[in-house]
Structure 1
């Protein structure tokens, strides 16, 4: 699979395997998130790598604080790379908190590294989804809209649309879909201007949004209403159902690595 890093650079995802090999503890999975996953990278977009690592047992039972979250940023051929991973136990806990962001990372089709544990985590995604995940996307859209109000930049406006459409699609289908061009095709209420905005974003990471403010505000408010209605009508359950299964998975993975 080839990851388009804007118009200036393409790289095969397997080229990033060296990054995986450099990590101090095994990576259970690593995927690409951010603008590349959302379908609107620009020529100067950074590459957001997200995943889960597996700490050894002694790191959790000793006196030192475990590195449950690790982050690294560096430049690769002029492209900023950003890697963030969580220990499996923390990642599982985030899955149980109705966190749509980690589910997008987990199910991203832009896979740098995968394992059997990654596959098991993906298989449990339907068991952690609830209609309360709409709150995550509603809140994220609100944060991005406020950024757009302050900056007038296209990027936070696209993030606003993307979050609302992901939430609507999730409430209706029970599927985590983060790719905006696909969402435009699958959500009938998606504003018609979005393909043009995606094309404009390809030209500059921090370009201004050439839109009428009142028009896009009306669209965003309408999508909030659609999300509210989709949540109210959703067949997704009230509570997560995967707690025991995730617990067993974490125990098995840790025991297997320590055996």
Structure 2
């Protein structure tokens, strides 16, 4: 784990050097952040970065995504801060999840914490419900229909459905940790919880979860919850919204924090 962490940091430094950017925040996304990695799961590293001030004053559009090919279990890509802020004002679920990731590789600047402070204004229950519902519905349709199913895909339907349930219950961004969702939202000692916990234990112990007979108790739950959220999704509220001026101030503050006062900028 230490070697992987060092390798991730080295990759982030290489990106800064090669792309002439500074990385503001880097975290783990995907199954490791959700608490159900397999032994061979990739490390899904996501980050926000900022270019030098002159790049934003150019007449030429700058690419707003940095991606690296998956190599040695590392899947690393990130967004320019301007892209991130525009998605934040739209209550983008992946970005808000990044900000709450329990695995953070780097957070040297104030941007991420400032965004967390604005999350209650940005968070849109309706946007999140539709995001998770579409994820659950698509994965259920594609992987969990036959008499034998790709059993590891249960997690990729259960987690978004439990995230919907968290929003319905608490009206806030759901935690990433899958087990927190299970413990809070599935009745204790029920057949459903026991089946899910057994599946989770098998996955995390390295058992290959491939084609197996479908698990009726989980399928019944998922079908019921998909139908439930399809029925009520439109009733959830949109976000209050973050004032554009506040995001402009945050962006300018980040430029100054990273590159110094405007008088020190070299063109």
Q: What TM-score results when the alignment is normalised by the length of structure 1?
A: 0.83
Match of 2:123 among 129, 139, 156: 129
Once the two structures are superposed, the pairs formed by residues 133-148 of structure 1 within 5 Å of their partners are 133-148=128-143
Q: Distance in 1 between matches of 2:4 and 2:166?
A: 28
Aligned position for 2:13: 21
Is 1:168 the counterpart of 2:165? The answer is yes
Q: Could you tell me how far 1:139 is from its partner in structure 2?
A: 0.7
Aligned position for 1:202: 204
CA-based RMSD of the aligned residues comes to 2.7
Q: Distance in 2 between matches of 1:229 and 1:126?
A: 25
Match of 2:150 among 150, 153, 160: 153
Show structure 2 runs of 5+ residues with no match. Answer: 263-267
Q: Could you tell me how far 1:17 is from its partner in structure 2?
A: 2.4
Is 1:238 the counterpart of 2:235? The answer is no
Q: Could you tell me how far 1:75 is from its partner in structure 2?
A: 3.2
SS in 2 for 1:112: strand
Aligned position for 2:179: 181
Aligned position for 1:11: 2
The answer on whether the counterparts of 1:13 and 1:110 sit within 8 Å (CA) in structure 2 is no
The answer on whether the counterparts of 2:130 and 2:233 sit within 8 Å (CA) in structure 1 is no
The answer on whether the counterparts of 1:50 and 1:84 sit within 8 Å (CA) in structure 2 is yes
Aligned position for 1:45: 41
SS in 1 for 2:2: strand
CA displacement 1:106-148 (0-9 Å, x = unmatched): 1101010012111111221111112212111101111221231
Q: What TM-score results when the alignment is normalised by the length of structure 2?
A: 0.80
CA displacement 1:176-220 (0-9 Å, x = unmatched): 312111110111359312111112222558622544355433210
Q: Distance in 2 between matches of 1:85 and 1:224?
A: 31
Q: Distance in 2 between matches of 1:214 and 1:71?
A: 40
Aligned position for 1:97: 90
The answer on whether the counterparts of 1:98 and 1:136 sit within 8 Å (CA) in structure 2 is no
The answer on whether the counterparts of 2:91 and 2:239 sit within 8 Å (CA) in structure 1 is no
Q: Could you tell me how far 1:167 is from its partner in structure 2?
A: 1.9
The answer on whether the counterparts of 2:100 and 2:176 sit within 8 Å (CA) in structure 1 is no
The answer on whether the counterparts of 1:28 and 1:118 sit within 8 Å (CA) in structure 2 is yes
SS in 2 for 1:83: strand
